């Protein structure tokens, strides 16, 4: 008779699931909240395949139903940033005679704004680790409010220009936090489209309000009284909705901030996405910001009439983000961006070579419609091609660095236009579209990351 010896495996310590928060100090269920600890022999896990591999982190996405207030407040913040970005170009025809300056000095506004965005790109992740999401959002809203306090009374031009550093910095901090949070929701492509469509609504209304005030009164700068009032509401709303997360960084977050930021910058995908966003936002703001001046100079339009064309561009962009969101997701984000670039290029070439204001107004709106999905789609793709634990550092950096293009390329366009004429806008937009197609092709195909 042969005795059978049963081999009993040694006890295995429980596999603790890592708890990584989306952002320190958030008052909602963090991304890194584990569902439970799983140990060997756990009777609740009846099937081996249900267990995660050793060392694997299980993440739970924030629940939309429990954070409606936070989402509403973030959308309101993005709405004001849209008003800010959309109005600058509409006010250029009034800014020049008010300060008796040329296009080059007008373009300096965009350069100073760029410096604010650039500073935010390299400090956002470190501030988030120390102040928490609520702290960074409140700081950003306060900086934006301080900028409007300087703008509304038409200060000397150097001070007026400096205020754009604070507005750029404040908006950058708010947008970075909003993009990271929304990108990690379930059905993020839809929520990102709503978030960025809200920006488009603000950018649509900004030129309408700014042009109306500037054309019907002698006080164009009173437009910033409107944004000042909205900024006060924004500051109070963000501080209240994220009150549990105000200035509550965690030691673990502080220790990992430098490591995660360096690791994010070492990711080729982060750099490529940043450059794609840089060109995209640069094109978006260049088109919306300089189209009015182009129609006045190159098409002999009247400022009081063509000032509203900028709103047509932002209206098309907003509509594109809403209408094309599910289509893009269903047919393939990577493929559809190439299709939209081609269609946008066709609209842009018609705008360039057909010297008719009505046709130009329609084509610039169509251009906005086709490029509208680019930013939310890029953020959505980033969540699929980047490791989950790097989302705060990498998406925050890529989005903020990309938004720096909203100042860099409008400044470059204005600087060249000061010497060669505002017609330089057209080849600049074509070049930016071509560059975007190259960087989009370099983004790797989405693959599932297990963090």
Coil vs helix vs strand at 15: strand
pTM, full prediction: 0.78
Rounded CA separation 242/146 (Å): 20
Using CA atoms, how far apart are residues 358 and 143, in angstroms rounded to an integer? 39
* Spatial distance between the Cα atoms of 424 and 418, rounded to a whole number of angstroms: 10
Distance of CA 430 to the CA centre of its chain: 22
Structure confidence at residue 252 (pLDDT): 66
332: left (phi over 0), alpha (psi -120 to 50) or beta: left
Which has the closest alpha carbon to 396: 406, 409, 386? 386
- What confidence score (pLDDT) does residue 222 get? 95
Distance, in Å, from the CA atom of 115 to the CA atom of 117, rounded to the nearest integer, reads 5
Q: Which of 278, 267, 265 is nearest to 439 (CA)?
A: 278
pLDDT on residue 254: 67
How far is the C-alpha of 172 from the C-alpha of 3, rounded, in Å? 73
pLDDT of residue 403: 78
Question: Closest Cα partner for 179 from 199, 204, 201?
Answer: 199
Instruction: Decide if 393 contacts 384 (C-beta within 8 A).
Output: no
Q: What CATH number belongs to 67-442?
A: 1.20.1250.20
Burial of 209 (0-12, 13-18, 19+ CB in 10 A): middle
What is residue 265's predicted lDDT score, i.e. its pLDDT? 87
Question: Do the beta carbons of residue 89 and residue 291 sit within 8 Å?
Answer: yes
Are the CB atoms for 427 and 306 separated by under 8 Å?
no
- What local confidence, expressed as pLDDT, does residue 49 receive? 42
For residue 200, which of 316, 333, 329 has the smallest C-alpha distance? Answer: 316
Query: What pLDDT, on the 0 to 100 scale, is given for residue 250?
Result: 61
**DSSP character for 38?**
B
Q: What integer pLDDT is reported at residue 190 of this predicted model?
A: 87
Beta strands in 253-403 (DSSP E): none
Q: Measuring CA to CA, which residue among 337, 330, 346, 334 is closest to residue 373?
A: 337
Q: Between the CA of residue 334 and those of 243, 264, 378, 396, what are the distances in Å?
A: 38, 22, 9, 21
* Packing angle of the helix pair 157-183, 374-385 (nearest 10 deg): 50
Q: Structural domain boundaries of the chain?
A: 67-442
Tens of pLDDT along the chain (451 residues) come to: 444 444 444 444 443 433 444 444 444 444 434 333 333 344 333 344 444 444 433 345 667 777 888 999 999 999 999 999 889 888 988 998 999 998 888 889 988 988 999 999 999 988 988 888 889 999 999 999 999 999 999 999 999 999 999 999 999 999 999 998 898 888 888 899 999 999 999 999 998 999 899 989 989 999 999 999 999 999 999 999 988 765 455 666 667 777 888 888 889 999 999 999 999 999 998 998 889 889 999 998 988 788 888 889 999 999 999 999 999 999 999 999 999 999 999 999 999 999 999 999 999 999 999 999 999 999 999 988 988 888 878 888 998 888 788 778 988 888 898 888 889 999 999 999 999 999 999 999 866 444 4
């Amino acid at each position: 008779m042969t005795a059978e010896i049963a081999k009993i495996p040694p006890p295995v310590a429980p596999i603790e699931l890592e708890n990584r928060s989306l952002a320190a100090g958030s008052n909602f269920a963090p991304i890194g909240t584990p569902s439970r600890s799983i140990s060997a022999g756990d009777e609740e896990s009846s099937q081996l395949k249900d267990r995660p591999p050793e060392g694997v982190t299980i993440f739970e996405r924030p629940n939309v139903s429990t954070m409606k207030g936070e989402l509403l407040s973030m959308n309101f913040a993005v709405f004001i940033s849209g008003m800010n970005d959309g109005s600058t170009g509409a006010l250029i025809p009034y800014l020049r005679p008010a300060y008796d300056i040329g296009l080059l000095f007008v373009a300096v506004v965009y350069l100073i704004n760029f410096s604010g965005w650039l500073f935010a790109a390299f400090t956002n992740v470190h501030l988030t680790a120390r102040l928490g999401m609520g702290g960074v959002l409140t700081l950003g809203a306060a900086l934006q409010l301080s900028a409007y306090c300087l703008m509304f009374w038409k200060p000397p031009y150097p001070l007026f220009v400096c205020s754009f550093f604070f507005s750029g910095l404040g908006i950058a901090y708010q947008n970075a936090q909003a993009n990271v949070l929304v990108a990690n929701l379930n059905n993020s492509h839809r929520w990102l489209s709503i978030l960025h469509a809200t920006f488009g609504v603000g950018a649509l209304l900004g030129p309408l309000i700014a042009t109306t005030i500037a054309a019907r009164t002698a006080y164009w700068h009173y437009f910033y009284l409107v944004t000042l009032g909205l900024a006060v509401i924004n500051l109070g709303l963000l501080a209240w909705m994220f009150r549990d997360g105000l200035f509550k960084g965690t030691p673990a977050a502080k220790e990992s901030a430098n490591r995660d930021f360096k690791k994010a910058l070492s990711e080729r995908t982060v750099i490529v996405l940043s450059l794609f966003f840089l060109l995209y936002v640069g094109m978006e703001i260049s088109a919306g910001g300089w189209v009015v001046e182009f129609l006045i100079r190159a098409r002999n339009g009247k400022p009081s009439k063509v000032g509203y064309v900028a709103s047509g561009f932002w209206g098309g962009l907003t509509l594109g983000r809403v209408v094309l969101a599910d289509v893009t997701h269903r047919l393939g984000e990577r493929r559809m961006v190439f299709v939209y670039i081609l269609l946008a290029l066709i609209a842009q070439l018609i705008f360039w070579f057909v010297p008719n204001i009505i046709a130009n107004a329609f084509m610039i709106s169509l251009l906005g419609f086709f490029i509208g999905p680019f930013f939310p789609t890029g953020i959505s793709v980033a969540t699929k091609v980047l490791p989950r634990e790097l989302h705060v550092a990498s998406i925050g950096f890529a989005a903020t660095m990309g938004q720096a293009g909203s100042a860099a390329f409008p400044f470059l366009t204005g600087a060249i236009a000061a010497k060669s004429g505002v017609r330089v806008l057209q080849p600049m937009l074509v070049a930016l579209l071509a560059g975007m197609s190259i960087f989009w092709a370099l983004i790797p195909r989405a693959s599932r990351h297990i963090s």
